[in-house]
């Protein structure tokens, strides 16, 4: 769990490191190259501080084959959390995250960006 957070937080210029922690089903649904493109696009969204997570705790199923990792999100609204389910497969634990990447639904926020610098600056006065 901590290594996955490390990949997101500090290795964000190499998204393939985070991809390696995703389930086999996820990797079957989305190639590494497509994930890298989506991860980089997501980080370019102008209203979001890039995802930075801090490990808090973990809950395991009784059989130890699945669970949920609990993280707080830094640099976003106070108290925001990020809960990531995970499963045991192929001899290790893999994360169920970035579920809106394979179907492209994460791109919906880019369709209508109601933000403009005009609301902060008189663009006629600049220059």
What residue segments make up the domains of the chain, in order of their start? Answer: 2-119
- The pLDDT tens digits for 3-59 are 999 999 999 999 999 999 999 999 999 999 999 999 998 887 766 678 889 999 999
CB 15 within 8 A of CB 39: yes
d(CA 112, CA 104): 15
User: Under CATH, to which class is 2-119 assigned?
Assistant: alpha beta
CB 17 within 8 A of CB 7: yes
Global pTM reads 0.81
């Amino acid at each position: 769990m901590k290594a996955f957070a490390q990949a997101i937080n500090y290795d964000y210029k190499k998204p393939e490191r985070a991809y390696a922690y995703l389930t086999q089903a996820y990797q079957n649904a989305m190639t590494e190259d497509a994930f890298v493109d989506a991860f980089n696009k997501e980080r370019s969204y102008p209203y979001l501080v890039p995802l930075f997570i801090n490990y808090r705790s973990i809950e395991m199923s009784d059989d130890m084959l699945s669970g949920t990792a609990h993280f707080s999100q830094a640099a976003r609204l106070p108290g925001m959390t990020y809960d990531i389910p995970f499963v045991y497969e192929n001899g290790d634990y893999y994360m169920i995250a970035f579920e809106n990447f394979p179907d492209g639904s994460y791109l919906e926020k880019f369709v209508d960006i109601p933000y403009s610098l005009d609301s902060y600056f008189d663009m006629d006065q600049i220059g």
